[in-house]
Structure 1
Amino acid sequence: MAILLDTKNRVFTLQTNHSMYQMKADRYGVLLHTLFGEKGSVFDYSYLITYADRGFSGNPYDVDDERTYSLDALPQEYPTYGSGDYRGSALKVCYPDGTTSCELRYVGYEVLEGKYSIPGLPAIYQMEENKADTLVITLEDTRKTFYVHLYYGVMEDLDIITRSVRIENHSDKPVFLENVQSTCVDYLHGEFDLHTFYGRHIKERNYQRAPIHHGVQSVGSTRGMSSHQYNPFLILSDKRTTETFGNCYGFSFLYSGDFLGSAEYDTYNQTRLLLGINPGNFNYRLDPGKTFCSPEVAMAYSGEGLEHLSHIFHRAFRNNLCRGKFKKARRPVLLNSWEGVYFDFNGEKLVQMARDAASMGIELFVMDDGWFGKRDKDVSGLGDWVVNEKKLGCTLEELSDQIHALGMQFGIWFEPEGISEDSDLYRAHPDWALQIPGKAPTRSRYQLVLDFSRQDVRDYIFGQMCQVLDSAKIEYLKWDFNRSITDIYSALLPADQQGEVTHRYILGLYDMLDKLGRRYPDMLIEGCCGGGGRFDAGMLYYSPQIWASDNTDAIERLSIQYGSSFCYPISAVGSHVSQCPNEQTGRYAPINTRATVAMSGTFGYELDVNHMTPVEKEVVKAQIFEFKKYYDLIQYGNYYRLTDPLKTKDYHCWQFAAEDRSEALLCIVALQIRPNGPGCWTRLRGLDPDGIYEIDGKEYPGDVLMRAGIPLPKATEEYESFRIYIRKKQA
């Protein structure tokens, strides 16, 4: 059983194959959190909670003179603002009288067969082969104004527990939700490290690990997107936890907008983790009879270190979050035009690029920015999604036909959320842009943002996109978004609902993407937000791959893709071979190394192939052949971080291993050349210890390769790379 009920004592225990989660409604109706961790004996773990009379910690009215009972120190499942708990809260509500003090009490529970879904929001879903059930715990505020329904999806085989919250106003007046977090987990004891992923544009998801100290440590975004700066994925771990040892807990927010994740180590040495929508731009009017649903958080526990935690998320996201044809179908190797020609192209030039690409085995040609409206640089044209036939010298259908005649597929770039002031759309509908009346807007990339919280705006843009997509044979769409959101104001909403704009915006974005996916089920959609500005689990529900970063430097990508791997599967990581010297850094890396790094993703090219030498073109042919040969191993195998590129000096190594341990691929990049340097070794992982493996014609026991390792090849040039195939011998 995945959900175990002790109705007499009101104890609720959730079990996956290897983890356990428990809560209890105590004698006062307060829902206490009692356990999240390793699966073990089913028992009432509330015995671990200690009670003491703590000075300046208040006591709920209904406990009378029981001074040892204070919400300020108790572990709670869904703590509220103004309840006497002065730690971070999961819920803050403003009542019609302007007050914000709220207390919740247990009302009841319901067990539903299968995994719940959330209207208009992404969520992990159940497959036929998965065991899944839903527990709903209902709480009510003590003023009898609204219900809080806590949803728990128990994905037993996936080792995933999900959480979402539905708030239902059953009074006759509106209330205002000022803070709704999707999850709260309280740990009674333990000293933890917090793992987060910080960055900036073209340097996203740098891995950071720091001890949790007394006080609050948080990451988040108020940029209208999950952001390049911080990722909505957090890990708590024991201090001794490594890749292969120790307890760790992962929390992924399935949402692409503003978020806040915080860890608070209180004065009683307890740790509270909260994750949900950032309250900075959020204030939601909940009218009588209406409900609000929070985005989902996926939680996982590993007692075998960070590596196993990553594998849990990788499998769940690949199989139970991504949807559509390209969830499992092999995706084509592509050539994107952007870094090759930027805005400087016409149809003839693109066809010539495609001709050379086809000769090397590249399967998909993508026309990036510059094909529409008045768009020869990035200061005009956004919003005018009309093909510039004068620039192309042909219709889009004619261009697509020429590409397909070469045996290639054809793709196209859009930035549907952006609008240029120098555009026909803006001149006709300036109120469609997010901007505050009477205030000059903040520009970024010399553009504004369309109000995607509005149905009429979305309908117009969707119609324009469909006209383009229906006019030619198009198998791929890159959805880009190139600025943060500011000047948050929607012309259609009253003053007391302006705090809903950013959340409504994300719901509108998801609505658009969902409609596109349903209308064009055979079209591959790749998410992008100036690279990795929306590299989050929410987007994976609508696009199975996301452009990981606008930084295409292979050496920089080592750390970007390393950080991404803690939560996101390799099949989600958009990665290309670009030209050298690299545009962002000026660095030169061998083309083989650029391919080694890009193969640890969706794999493609982004350069002007017309300028490649005959030797380079032969190399590309071989790279594409090899990628296809190892496609299933790379995309669906287990990924192992063998070194940390932020710490290692000589080599960075990572590995793929098949689930059945029949084969593996070791990838190595030399980070520096040292004359007369020492030898280097790495230990492999994910092999059968009792199996015999063949490497370059030599045989090794699996346990030897994992315990003793193998010596790394000696690099003869800077940033040289190696790919070593490892095959298990049949018994």
Structure 2
Amino acid sequence: MPISFDQKQQFFHLKNHEISYVIGIEKGKYLTHRYFGKALSSYHGCNELQRIDRGFATNPIPADRTFSLNALPMETSTQGNGDHRIANYQIRNQKGHNVTDFHFQDFDIYNGKKELTGLPSVRSAKTTTLEIRLVDSIQQLEMILVYNLYEDFPVITRSARYRNLKDTPVYLENAGSLMLDLPRWNFDLITLNGAHTNEATLHRQALHPGIQKIESSRGTSSPQHQPFLALANPETTEFTGEVFAFHFVYSGNFTAQVEVEQYGSSRVQIGIQPETFEWKLTQDHSFQTPEVVMNYSEDGFNGMSQTFHRLYQTYLIPEQFSQQERPILLNTWEANYFDLSAEALLTQARQAKELGIELFVLDDGWFGKRNDDTSSLGDWSENREKLPQGLSSLAREIRQMGLKFGIWFEPEMVSKESELFRQHPDWALHVSDYPMTEGRRQLVLDLSRKEVQDYLIDQLGKQLASGQIDYVKWDMNRHLTEVGNTLLPADQQKESHHRYVLGLYRVIKTLTADFPTVLFENCSSGGGRFDPGMMAYMPQTWTSDNSDALCRTKIQYGYSYLYPPIMMGAHVSDVPNHQVGRLTPFSTRSWIAMSGNFGYELDLMKQSADNLRSMQEQINFYKAHRQLLQFGEFYRLQAPDTQFASAWLFKNDQEALLIYSNGLAQPAVPIHYLKTVYLDSDAIYQDTETENCYSGAELNQAGILIPRIKQDFETALYHWKKL
């Protein structure tokens, strides 16, 4: 059995062929963390808990001064009775007190995994579940800790449910999903941080005493902080070393933190951000937290990433897209912005078809009176001045050319200059007596309200029901302000942030279920809501509004820690780049875009003959190697350095492709042999350009010579067929 309970020693042992996770029960009441790491054939408690009579310690059992909750490695925190480290939950009762006393009650082990009510999660696949029930008998409260062990991955997912069993309400002020005490502190903390157009910057720093925290209170997971952290040995590299990684499957406010406490252990805690949250629990009502993916690697960061990539591509994104090839697209945004006409769009589509592009995407500006970003959000009817025959007619003509047709929406937003706002001003997020703060001249619809959810389902459903739309780009271009719900009583106003996310999930789940063949792309000004919660419904994300090739090497490199390239929208755009003004070679822009979900975002009518020939060659190459680039294993070989030079590798059973980007050209360049590391050592690989043959071991260990490149932002490509 993958999960067992040793009655005599009072240990739960969760085990597959790669990992073990051990939970102990102390004094018949308290859950302690005993081990997480490489698989153990058995566990008998050799790593005893330290028992010392420590000064300033409180003792729940007065006669035993060596037993203190403040020194135990815990599976969940306590509240108000001795554990003074960061908490995983907090409950306030009718008297205003924040004291609870949860004790172990019983457990259940079963095959499979239950869906989380109203929330996305990683699907079940050869999964065994442990549910541990703890009860506060004084207040009649229940906490259930859920552990889902995946048989074929070094992964456990964790969540918690909080339930009120009595007839007076309590208030859940902190609803943590995971807490874990690791018995050491000599780790490096890994996070992905950034900003709009500068997402997924890798940060690595040594843990130190105290609390290190990332979080979002913006209403979304945010481009500032990915809901992820990892703890790695100081010597861990891309290729070797231990990593403990944690990723939150949620799209709203979150906190992810680590505390190095006084006795040298490290407490990891992840959950909904508590300062913007509270939930009223009435009798027999439960609150389900989002889940956290726990991922262990002994093969460095590439090992960690391989697990995330395989898990998410197979068991997180909608199942029908797991192995479905993604089309090469042309997006109109940077070519047209708001300047649209049916005639020009059809001309672009014909040119796109001639080049071999497969999907034509009409971005912003097609609806209402949308000639700039100041109006019409919420009015999802075509602009007849721009599209005289209507959207369906345009889509039909483009599809008759042999192209698929896609459309841009920003469903969660409303412009003050719109029919929707004039009819329903109360549908925008607001609180009484305060003005509505605009962002980009737009407001946010209150998705915590069912009638707003129903409106969006109806309006978007009508467009999708035409049968002419194959792809939707779902955008979200500002963060939340004045978050409240005028239909809720005062003591439930702090539920609004989470109710917004639940409403969003309901809308998306309904639409993606009703239109399962439509490919949805998640977007929030690029990576503003690039998280596994959204990926559960939308199998790809527009990675960043910054399409500059040099910036994209860093951004895509960072996101690849968690997501495979097929999930990262990446487009070739014009130069000078519209975000940073940089000039980069057309070939470099193309190879970096091919390292993601490939497309173009430029005016075909303004391209030179050389560029058009290059596009056709690139498209033909991509189609010939699409299986490798979209579904092959992806490995990082060289992180972007101070000159932005980087390298990565794609491989499958038939071929391998290495892309090296030199960044800024340098004088007196040192000799550089780049090792492929991950090719099959016993296989022979033939270079498709030179036809020279090499063993995988040779390429892995001796490496290939990187030539001196006397120009900024160039790329070198190496392609091998496996013989």
**Same fold (TM > 0.5):** yes
Q: Is the 8 A contact 1:640 1:685 kept in 2?
A: no
Whole-angstrom CA distance in 1 between matches of 2:273 and 2:644: 41
Q: Partner of 2:635: helix, strand, or coil? A: strand
The correspondence of residues 309-708 of structure 1 with structure 2, limited to 5 A, is 309-471=304-466, 473-645=468-640, 647=641, 649=643, 651-658=645-652, 660=653, 662-675=654-667, 677-695=669-687, 696-708=690-702
Within the candidate set 73, 76, 99, 2:74 is matched to: 76
User: 1:142 Cα shift?
Assistant: 4.4
User: 1:590 Cα shift?
Assistant: 1.0
Name the counterpart of 2:110: 112
Whole-angstrom CA distance in 2 between matches of 1:470 and 1:644: 45
Given the two structures, how large is their TM-score scaled by the length of structure 1? 0.97
Deviations 1:571-608 (A, max 9, x none): 11111111111000100111111111111111101111
Whole-angstrom CA distance in 2 between matches of 1:367 and 1:376: 14
Name the counterpart of 1:31: 31
Q: Is the 8 A contact 1:49 1:188 kept in 2?
A: no
Q: Is the 8 A contact 2:376 2:415 kept in 1?
A: yes
Name the counterpart of 1:87: 85
Q: Is the 8 A contact 1:692 1:699 kept in 2?
A: yes
Q: Is the 8 A contact 1:650 1:673 kept in 2?
A: no
Name the counterpart of 2:217: 222
Name the counterpart of 2:163: 168
Q: Partner of 2:349: helix, strand, or coil? A: helix
Deviations 1:538-586 (A, max 9, x none): 1110000011100000100011011101111111111111111100010
Letter in 2 for 1:436: V
More displaced 10-residue stretch of structure 1: 699-708 or 292-301: 699-708
State, as a whole percentage, how many aligned pairs show the same letter: 41
Q: Partner of 2:386: helix, strand, or coil? A: helix
User: 1:80 Cα shift?
Assistant: 2.7
Name the counterpart of 1:18: 18
Letter in 2 for 1:413: W
Whole-angstrom CA distance in 2 between matches of 1:97 and 1:103: 16
Letter in 2 for 1:54: R
The correspondence of residues 133-144 of structure 1 with structure 2, limited to 5 A, is 133-144=128-139
User: 1:472 Cα shift?
Assistant: 5.3
Deviations 1:673-726 (A, max 9, x none): 235533322100211112222123111121111111100133343211122112
Letter in 1 for 2:706: L
Whole-angstrom CA distance in 1 between matches of 2:76 and 2:343: 61
Q: Partner of 2:520: helix, strand, or coil? A: strand
Provide structure 2 residue ranges, at least 5 long, that are not aligned to the other structure. Answer: none
Within the candidate set 679, 698, 705, 1:711 is matched to: 705
1:725 aligns to 2:719 (yes or no): yes
Q: Is the 8 A contact 1:35 1:45 kept in 2?
A: no
Letter in 1 for 2:531: D
User: 1:9 Cα shift?
Assistant: 2.8
Within the candidate set 226, 241, 244, 1:246 is matched to: 241
Name the counterpart of 1:64: 62
Q: Partner of 1:392: helix, strand, or coil? A: coil
Letter in 2 for 1:693: Y
User: 1:64 Cα shift?
Assistant: 2.5
Deviations 1:600-647 (A, max 9, x none): 1111011111111222111111111111222121222221111111x2
Whole-angstrom CA distance in 1 between matches of 2:395 and 2:30: 62
1:212 aligns to 2:227 (yes or no): no
Deviations 1:285-320 (A, max 9, x none): 011111110001011111121111110111000001
Q: Partner of 1:560: helix, strand, or coil? A: helix
The correspondence of residues 126-137 of structure 1 with structure 2, limited to 5 A, is 126-127=124-125, 131-137=126-132
Whole-angstrom CA distance in 2 between matches of 1:20 and 1:631: 37
User: 1:265 Cα shift?
Assistant: 0.4
Whole-angstrom CA distance in 1 between matches of 2:318 and 2:435: 41
Deviations 1:264-292 (A, max 9, x none): 10111110000111112100001111111
Deviations 1:204-231 (A, max 9, x none): 0100000000000000100000001000
Name the counterpart of 1:124: 122
Whole-angstrom CA distance in 1 between matches of 2:46 and 2:32: 8
Whole-angstrom CA distance in 2 between matches of 1:265 and 1:170: 35
Q: CA RMSD in A?
A: 1.3
Q: Partner of 2:550: helix, strand, or coil? A: helix
Provide structure 1 residue ranges, at least 5 long, that are not aligned to the other structure. Answer: none
Q: Partner of 2:56: helix, strand, or coil? A: coil
Whole-angstrom CA distance in 2 between matches of 1:7 and 1:371: 66
Q: Is the 8 A contact 1:115 1:154 kept in 2?
A: no
Q: Partner of 2:334: helix, strand, or coil? A: helix
Q: Is the 8 A contact 2:207 2:260 kept in 1?
A: yes
More displaced 10-residue stretch of structure 1: 136-145 or 583-592: 136-145
Q: Partner of 2:264: helix, strand, or coil? A: coil
Q: Is the 8 A contact 2:526 2:544 kept in 1?
A: yes
Name the counterpart of 2:97: 99
Q: Partner of 1:456: helix, strand, or coil? A: helix
Q: Is the 8 A contact 1:190 1:238 kept in 2?
A: no
More displaced 10-residue stretch of structure 1: 714-723 or 698-707: 714-723
Whole-angstrom CA distance in 2 between matches of 1:55 and 1:28: 25
Whole-angstrom CA distance in 1 between matches of 2:9 and 2:722: 53
More displaced 10-residue stretch of structure 1: 170-179 or 386-395: 386-395
Indicate how the Cα distance of structure 1 residues 675 and 188 shifts in structure 2: closer, same or farther if over 3 A, else same: closer
User: 1:405 Cα shift?
Assistant: 2.3
Given the two structures, how large is their TM-score scaled by the length of structure 2? 0.98
Deviations 1:9-34 (A, max 9, x none): 32101113211111111124101111
User: 1:190 Cα shift?
Assistant: 4.2
Whole-angstrom CA distance in 1 between matches of 2:7 and 2:620: 60
User: 1:46 Cα shift?
Assistant: 7.2
1:266 aligns to 2:261 (yes or no): yes
